[in-house]
Amino acid sequence: MTPKMQAAQVEHFGKPLVFKELDVPVPGPGQILVKTEACGVCHTDLHARDGDWPLKPPLPFTPGHEGIGIVTALGDGVTAVKKGDRVGVPWLYSACGHCEFCLAAQEPVCAEAQFGGYTRNGGFAEYILADPNYVAHIPAGLYAVDAAPLICAGITSYKGLKETQAKPGQWVVISGIGGLGHLGVQYAKAMGLHVCAVDIDDAKLAHATRLGADAVVNAKHADAVAAVVKATGGGAHGVLITAPSLPAFEQGVRMTRKHGTCVLVGIPPGEFPTPLFDVVANCITIRGSFVGNRRDMAEALAFAADGKVKADIELQPLSAINKVFDRLAKGEVPSRVVLDFSPR
């Protein structure tokens, strides 16, 4: 009999995930099979379920791109990992390896890139097929549940901070203190940056303070931009916008210091007005940032292995995923929910 596994799949955009018993996939040449131990729930999974973006995943599909697990089977020709290794199956599931972007270690923008839990089935399932050349290698000493948020929320906020080009001693604004942002605050402090945390929820701001933020500003206040400019002595050298909310983007551009860089990471559907005169006259850079490359992944994990960054996690079973999505949509998840696949 073919072995079976539990999986939660999107069958229709905007509808609850459907629980299914599927065949455990068999790794083909160059593939590996990973037995899931834990998988974080990213706001991107919610955008995926809702079909929010111009590039839509083919239906049905299994979301989840923060899956951590143990390699249990190798397809023909695999040498990059071995059975028993703990790996993560990230958003950057695979890329061509030979285009101009791959050669420049910019593989997240490779035209042939595949995305975990989006164009390939992801970690909301007991087993995941993966490409051994693109899995994250989880450092010894990190538990699977703690590693899970790092392979998307962690790498994305860390890479986004690097893309601001803010130097130690300078200010960054982190707008949105959820899954990405609460890790971003910790990375920024570990990188020697001053942090001004921005959110619409005072509880998230209080959490940012506990994590080391030097200043906090509630984005709902009418004078939020002025408050940031005051706290940072003229605007932040770097602004990282993780909020899945369009008003945060125009606001974030206005929080950027002259000659500073505003990095866009949140992806709410739609467009935002750009204060063109201010951007031009203040020489502001606006830049998108999309996860990170494999070196960024190793660096992001190393901060955690060194004890400098730790995700705040709430464990839930796979069966709770639809309730978790409802809370995530309302901003009611404090930091990160991780689906725990360990036997109960």
**31 vs 18, 70, 133, 135, CA distance in Å?**
26, 14, 9, 11
Residues numbered 173-192 forming contacts with Zn ion, rule: CB under 5 A: none
Quick check: 70 binds ligand NAD (CB under 6 A)? no
Q: Classify residue 145 by burial, with Cβ atoms within 10 Å: 0-12, 13-18, 19+.
A: buried
Quick check: 176 binds ligand NAD (CB under 6 A)? yes
Residues numbered 35-54 forming contacts with Zn ion, rule: CB under 5 A: 42, 44
* Shortest separation between residue 21's beta carbon and ligand NAD, angstroms: 29
Tokens found for residue 118: 């989006």
Q: Please select the residue that binds ligand NAD; options are 71, 144, 198, 253, rule is CB under 6 A.
A: 198
Residues numbered 248-267 forming contacts with Zn ion, rule: CB under 5 A: none
Quick check: 164 binds ligand NAD (CB under 6 A)? no
First to last CA, the chain: 25
> 171 with 240: CB under 8 angstroms?
no
Tokens found for residue 51: 């079909």
Q: 335: which DSSP letter?
A: S
Helices 247-254/224-231 angle, 10° precision? 40
Minimum CB distance to ligand NAD smaller for 201 or for 299: 201
Cα separation, 93 vs 133, in Å, equals 9
Quick check: 175 binds ligand NAD (CB under 6 A)? yes
Residues numbered 210-229 forming contacts with Zn ion, rule: CB under 5 A: none
Residues 117-156: x where in contact with Zn ion by CB under 5 A, - otherwise, as a string: -----------------------------------x----
Q: Classify residue 50 by burial, with Cβ atoms within 10 Å: 0-12, 13-18, 19+.
A: middle
Residue 207 binding partner per list ligand NAD, Zn ion, none, with a CB distance cut-off of 5 to 8 Å that depends on partner kind? none
Residues 212-251: x where in contact with ligand NAD by CB under 6 A, - otherwise, as a string: -------x----------------------xxxx-xx---
Cα separation, 186 vs 156, in Å, equals 13
* Shortest separation between residue 264's beta carbon and Zn ion, angstroms: 15
Quick check: 51 binds ligand NAD (CB under 6 A)? no
Residue 132 binding partner per list Zn ion, ligand NAD, none, with a CB distance cut-off of 5 to 8 Å that depends on partner kind? none
Count the helix, strand and coil residues of the chain and give each as a percent rounded to the nearest 5.
30, 25, 45
Quick check: 96 binds Zn ion (CB under 5 A)? yes
Cα within 13 Å of Cα(10), Cβ side: 27
Among all residues, whose Cβ is closest to ligand NAD?
178
Cα separation, 44 vs 180, in Å, equals 11
Quick check: 179 binds ligand NAD (CB under 6 A)? yes
Bridge pairing between strands 171-175 and 32-41: unpaired
Q: Report the run of H or E that residue 156 belongs to, with start and end.
A: helix 153-164
Quick check: 254 binds ligand NAD (CB under 6 A)? no
Residues 96-115: x where in contact with ligand NAD by CB under 6 A, - otherwise, as a string: --------------------
> What is the dihedral sign for C-alpha 317, 319, 325, 327?
negative
Residue 300 binding partner per list Zn ion, ligand NAD, none, with a CB distance cut-off of 5 to 8 Å that depends on partner kind? none
Quick check: 77 binds ligand NAD (CB under 6 A)? no
Cα separation, 270 vs 78, in Å, equals 41
Query: Which residues of this chain interact with Zn ion, rule CB under 5 A?
Result: 42, 44, 95-96, 99, 102, 110, 152
Query: Which residues of this chain interact with ligand NAD, rule CB under 6 A?
Result: 42-44, 47, 152-153, 156, 175-181, 198-201, 204, 219, 242-245, 247-248, 265-268, 289-291, 328, 331, 333
